[in-house]
Structure 1
Amino acid sequence: MYKNEFDNHIRNKTVSNSFVFFGESHFLIDMYTKMLTNIEDANILNYYHDEYDFNSAKAHLSQGSLFGDRNILVIKSEKKIPKKELDTLLELTHKNGDNIFVYAYYGSDHKSYNNAKSFAKTQTMNVRFFHPKEYEAQNLLSQIAHEKNVNIDKYTLSHLLKIHNGDIALCANEIDKFRIFDREVTTKDVDALVYGLGEINLDDFTKKLLEKKDFKEDLQNILEHGEDEIRIISALTSYLTQLYMFNIYIRINGAPNALEILGYPAPKFVVEQKAAQAIKIKPAAFYRLHELLLESELKMKSSHVDKSAILLSTLIKLQKTL
């Protein structure tokens, strides 16, 4: 089923006690997992990434709680659970109506769980979450802002979404920053507090830099639109730090894992793009690049300097170092 149908079940209080969540929006998968398992005094067992162990998961659902509380099992993984094991866990969940089991699948192979026949013989609700449309994203962010007592209208939330290229997870994390205001948040407040690392023009600009393409026209455009030189340096430093983390992880493990590198499950195309960029840069080069950017940022923070000239010189040196 899709989100709208599932929301109707929640409103009508006709939800099951076992769920398989999957799809393109990891933010919504996380949100609904938290919503359905946030039960006071529950006996909850969480598995992340490669922590999953079938025997202990089965034991958790099989045992009776010492104090008569609910047993909740949550498995979050990019890897599929073997079908026989998943069937067993679902069966155990249904034997006890107080049990709750949520399998949050972050992988990209949705065929197994997008088939109505997959769970036809069970009470399980399999829900596919697509990326929210703009108006849906605005409504979700508005709800989050309301819960955190942040006064912000949908026009300003739309501005925030544009800064982060529609990434609702990044936008949701920014809401906390606006709690410092005891008035309505404006677009100027958003610009002042949000770096906007997801902004599309800055993202394209960074790609051009790393590919050693001519960036001067893009740089002029970014500066003309009010971007600060120090913030550009900070954004580049953060981006390169992520690439360095990808580089190290791939060298050790052979393949990237966004959950372990970034702390959240990024879209597959983002992971592949950053992995491809990361492995092109040697570890020693990362050190020189960070040193260059940090020294330039320090110079810019000194008084009576031409920040634009320092920025241009730094970016030219950066491309030569790659």
Structure 2
Amino acid sequence: MYKSELDKHIQNNSLSNSFVLFGESSFLIDIYTKKLTDIQDASTLSYYHDEYNFNSAKAHLSQASLFGGQNILIIKSEKKVPKKDLDILIDYCEKNRDNIFVYAYYGSDHKTYNSKSAFGKTTAMSVRFFNPSQSEAIFALSQIARDKKVNIDNYTITHLLNIHHCDIALASNEIDKFRVYDRTITTKDVDNLVFGLALVNIDELIKKILNKKDFRSELENILEHGEDEIRIVTAITSYLTQLYMFNIYIRVNGAPNALEILGYPAPKFVVDEKAALSIKFKPSTYYKLHELLLESELKMKSSHVDKSAILLSTLIRVQQLL
């Protein structure tokens, strides 16, 4: 099953008591492992990576809880636990519904578990987690911020995600930094605390490029602070895609609507700025720009190339197409 199905079981209180969690998103595997095992007064035994021992794991599920509550077994590993071990541990949960077993597999070989018949006729839930979409990542981070009593809106969360190139795990680690503020967090706060030096961010670089202004000092600044050339190209491509969505929406509806275009409300000045910039270019120009950027990204991914030279050449050609 997938995350959406597991969410429905959680909502309907129809969960099993044994789970195999795997997939592309380690962040979501961690989140749901904690969610499924966060039970007060339970007797919990956790194994991390090479610590796993079958005999002690089996003994933990087979004995009565020392605290008179539930026994919980958690195994987190990039290595596969033998299938026969899993079958036995799951069977202990089948026989005793007070037990809870979560196997969080962080490896990349998903074939063993990606099947409804993987665990026969047991009630074990095998769940695959894909990397979250942007809207899912924003929602997850807003939940984390709410739990930590950090007041931050979806626009600022998106800015934080963009800084970390949509890596939700890295972005979530930043939330604690904002607990020092007893007010709403702004994008300026994010720049100050996440960058540390309040570096010129990629959005400002992109706006200079698209307004046909000299961008070289900003580009040098970003590269000097360790930004990767390929990530700059993908950020520009993403920004242009967003502008194209504004362009299409405005041509069809006459005015922009951030909630329908982006999936979340954005400040009026941001919407006005993107709307004004988006209508400056024709659809054919967007097509040529995307084609150029995708070709350049492919070149950069080849071996033994000067990525900085390709990037500078690409950005100059972008301005020539505008």
Band of TM-score, shorter chain: 0.5 to 0.7
Q: For the structure 1 residues 184 and 228, does the alpha-carbon distance in structure 2 shift closer, same or farther, using more than 3 Å as the test?
A: farther
Q: Which residue type is aligned with residue 163 of structure 1?
A: I
Offset, 1:69: 1.4
2:216 corresponds to 1:222: no
Structure 2, unmatched stretches of 5+, are 203-213, 229-322
Q: Look up the match of 2:301.
A: none
Alignment of 1:128-143 (within 5 A): 128-143=128-143
For 2:189, the equivalent position in structure 1 comes to: 189
Question: Identity over the aligned pairs, expressed in percent?
Answer: 63
For residue 11 of structure 1, what is the aligned residue in structure 2?
11
Which one-letter code corresponds to 1:88 in the other structure? I
User: Aligned-pair distance for 1:96?
Assistant: 0.8
Q: Which residue of structure 2 lines up, in the alignment, with residue 53 of structure 1?
A: 53
Q: Which residue of 2 aligns with 1:317?
A: none
Distance 1:175 1:183 in 2: 14
Shift of residue 222, structure 1, vs aligned partner: 3.4
2:160 pairs with 1:160: yes
Structure 1: gaps (5+ residues)? 203-216, 237-322
Aligned-pair Cα RMSD in Å: 2.4
Checking the alignment, whether the CA contact within 8 Å between 2:93 and 2:100 is kept in structure 1 is: yes
Describe the shift of the 1:107–1:219 C-alpha distance in structure 2 as closer, same or farther (beyond 3 A).
farther
Q: Report the Cα distance in structure 2 between the residues aligned to 1:29 and 1:65, rounded to whole angstroms.
A: 26
How is 1:236-251 mapped onto 2 (pairs within 5 angstroms)? none
SS at match of 1:45: strand
| Mapping of residues 114-125 of structure 1, within 5 Å | 114-125=114-125
Q: CA deviation at 1:148?
A: 1.0
Q: Describe the SS at the equivalent of 2:126.
A: strand
Counterpart of 1:165 in 2: which secondary structure?
coil
Residue aligning to 2:169: 169
Q: In the alignment, what sits opposite 2:81? A: 81
Distance 1:218 1:49 in 2: 47
Do residues 41 (structure 1) and 41 (structure 2) align? yes
State the alpha-carbon separation in 2 of the partners of residues 92 and 218 from structure 1: 63
Partner of 1:297: none
Rounded Cα–Cα distance in structure 1 between residues aligned with 2:2 and 2:175: 27
Looking at structure 2, the residues matched to 180 and 43 of structure 1 have their Cα atoms a distance apart, in angstroms, of: 35
Relative to 1, partners in 2 of residues 1:218 and 1:80: Cα closer, same or farther, differing over 3 Å?
A: farther
- TM-score of the two chains, using structure 2 as the length reference: 0.63
| Structure 1 pair 149–67 and aligned structure 2 pair: CA distance change class (3 A) | closer
Please name the residue that 1:99 is paired with. 99
Q: Aligned equivalents of 2:50 and 2:195: distance in 1? A: 33
Deviation at 1:115, TM superposition (A): 1.0
Aligned residue for 1:118, secondary structure, equals coil
Equivalent pair of 2:42/2:67 in contact (CA under 8 Å): no
Q: Is the 8 A contact 2:44 2:73 kept in 1?
A: yes
**Larger Rg, first or second structure (1 or 2):** 2
Name the residue aligned to 1:284. Answer: none
Q: Which residue of 2 aligns with 1:67?
A: 67
